[in-house]
Chains A and B, each alone.
Chain A
Amino acid sequence: MSTVKQPNSNESDAAPAMPPGRTWSLRARMIASALLLFQVCAVLYGPLSMPPTITTDALRPVFRPYNGATYQGNSYKFFSPDPGPSHLIRYELVNDKGEKTTGTFPDRKEEWPRLFYHRHFMLTEHLNQAMAPPAPDDPPPPADWTAIKTPPEQLRLAQSYANHLMHKYNATSATLWLVRHSIPTPDQAIKGMKLTDPTLYRERRLGSFALNQ
């Protein structure tokens, strides 16, 4: 370590007690530069690797473990490519006496403060997004969203959510529906359509689950 030489106090109008800042030796700067270069590339790798490209696939063994461990491999694509409808999950639970419990999450009345509500909201949004990208020879999905067959990735998450609900409410079976809440067009809103209009809600059955299936 060395210090930056300060001008003699007689030569300067600066505050007399100005402390010098320590600069780094060439060796320290070279080691730090290598680490910084790696960090900078790792940060860039996150958004560049989503979706994967030939280049990012080749660099995957270098950056993926580090980014995975440090939670840096994010794409940072907030509200993109397009903001769209939101998703909720409606559930119906049945206990061993045949009694039913129903509910929906996220629910602002139950989940507070707002951040806690948002955690539940992310559970449903991420479930909706959890599906493998279609293969080139896959048939196009049906135009009717409610007719889409639940993909296995969503099914596994729905099972986990259902298990949690059954443990929490002492139920033995659960049925879950994914509810899509669409947004009215600006024209519809101008004509008076409310954001809670029943026609904006559609639901798709995720499945029925037994405890610890």
Chain B
Amino acid sequence: MIELVTNYLRDLIRWVVTGWNRFWFTPEDPATLSVIRILAGGMLFYTHLVWSRGLEDFFSATSWISPEAALEMHGDNYPISYFWLINSPAGLWAVHIVALAAMLCLTLGLFTRPAAIVSWIAAISYVNRVPLAQFGLDQLNTMLCLYLIVGPSGACYSLDRWREKRNAQQKGWAIPPVRPSVSANIAIRLMQFHMCVIYFAAGLGKAQGESWWSGTAMWWALGNLEYQSMDLTWIAAWPLLTSLLTHATVFWELTFPVFVWNPKLRPLVIGMAIPVHLGIAFFMGMITFGLVMLFGCMSFVSPKLVRMVLDRAPAEQGRAGGEAPSRQTAQTRPISRRPAPVARATKRS
């Protein structure tokens, strides 16, 4: 009996270690990460460009939320922000322009990693200075930017890559291929995990509410004049539709972290994100929030599909010319005479 338990525990530990290694440390094509860089970087740039409309109204000493009130709201948190040190309007505008320049560089993939670091420090500084003006958009912006630092998000579709190719051509060298990278995989995995936590927490939070159980929550959300950007009061006459939408939302959010890992269900789960978040974007006036949630869901799209769409690569191959590798075998797996990974379908599950 003891031997049985010992064997089980040994197998379990081996299974966990192997799975952990495969999940986190398998080199991955950075194509998906690079697309997320363009989308999330663009959103960061726009979000902060909009602050230009009221930079002094929100960030000066006499702003809506005074520095003292903001620090009091944080309590015993550690709200890192360079805005605590800046008092003059000129200083505010100087750091604002630097932040926008860094975010633009991140979007374009120019000096990508330094730009991602500066963008993240800037984004954190903005959210910590005005905690009462934040919402889900800022949570997603800072999350995605943090993970863009982790991986080589400028490896593809970037000015860095263009410069790399041009330099090689000028020197008569072969164009260096884009390699699969462990850090690209880690960045994508962190995004995927974080998205699962976000959806599950959102679903659990709704499960505490009476209206999400009774099926009326969708009415209370869509009937809110301060949110809505399109008159949807007609939906009050369709209680069954309201109820179905309400329950489907909770079911989808709660099951997201389970079903999204199943290769057969993943297209459905991610496909459902599109109407949900575009609905939030266009009916409830939160275009930025709706889009940034979709950008987070992009982490579940395989690099192979990205290559097929953007590079017009053949379905069974990353990309002609060796530009785009597919996923490599994990180090923990036996390395033998297996078919080259480039010819295998990429699955991230």
Judge whether A15 and B64 touch: CB under 8 Å: no
Count of B interface residues, CB-CB < 8 Å: 105
Partner of A32, one of B131, B133, B186, B287: B186
Stretch of A79-87, A93-101, A140-148 that contacts chain B: A79-87
Count of A interface residues, CB-CB < 8 Å: 84
In the assembled complex, B278 has its CB within 8 A of some CB on chain A: no
Min CB gap B285→A, angstroms: 6
Judge whether B124 and A77 touch: CB under 8 Å: no
Judge whether B79 and A68 touch: CB under 8 Å: yes
Q: Which of B211, B233, B237, B339 has the most CB of A within 10 A?
A: B233
Judge whether B182 and A24 touch: CB under 8 Å: yes
Judge whether B124 and A183 touch: CB under 8 Å: no
Q: Per-residue CB proximity of B250-289 to A under 8 Å, as 1/0?
A: 0000000000000000000000000000000000011110
Min CB gap B112→A, angstroms: 19
Judge whether B220 and A183 touch: CB under 8 Å: yes
Min CB gap A121→B, angstroms: 6
Min CB gap A4→B, angstroms: 5
Min CB gap B334→A, angstroms: 11
Judge whether A29 and B25 touch: CB under 8 Å: yes
Judge whether A47 and B197 touch: CB under 8 Å: yes
Q: Per-residue CB proximity of A162-178 to B under 8 Å, as 1/0?
A: 01100110000000000
Given contacts A70-B146, A164-B64, A5 and B133 within 8 Å (CB-CB): no
Min CB gap B319→A, angstroms: 8
Partner of A123, one of B27, B132, B328: B132
B5 partner residues in chain A, CB cutoff 8 A: none
Min CB gap B104→A, angstroms: 18
Q: Which of A2, A130, A167 has the most CB of B within 10 A?
A: A167
A11 partner residues in chain B, CB cutoff 8 A: 337
Given contacts A23-B25, A76-B202, A116-B53, A16 and B208 within 8 Å (CB-CB): no
Partner of B201, one of A7, A77, A84, A196: A77
Among residues of A, the one whose C-beta sits closest to the C-beta of B139 is: A74
Among residues of B, the one whose C-beta sits closest to the C-beta of A186 is: B236
In the assembled complex, A36 has its CB within 8 A of some CB on chain B: yes
In the assembled complex, B12 has its CB within 8 A of some CB on chain A: no
**25 A-B pairs in the complex with CB atoms less than 8 angstroms apart:** A4-B27, A4-B335, A6-B340, A12-B339, A12-B340, A15-B318, A18-B325, A21-B179, A24-B331, A71-B138, A76-B136, A76-B201, A77-B204, A83-B217, A85-B224, A86-B226, A106-B226, A113-B53, A116-B50, A119-B50, A122-B132, A126-B132, A160-B68, A184-B223, A186-B236
Q: Which 9 A-B pairs have the closest CB atoms?
A: A17-B322, A21-B27, A77-B205, A21-B180, A14-B340, A80-B205, A81-B209, A68-B77, A47-B201
Given contacts A159-B69, A168-B62, 20 further A-B contacts (CB under 8 A): A4-B335, A15-B321, A17-B177, A23-B182, A33-B24, A69-B79, A70-B142, A71-B128, A75-B205, A76-B202, A77-B205, A79-B217, A116-B54, A123-B132, A126-B132, A163-B66, A164-B63, A164-B66, A184-B223, A186-B216
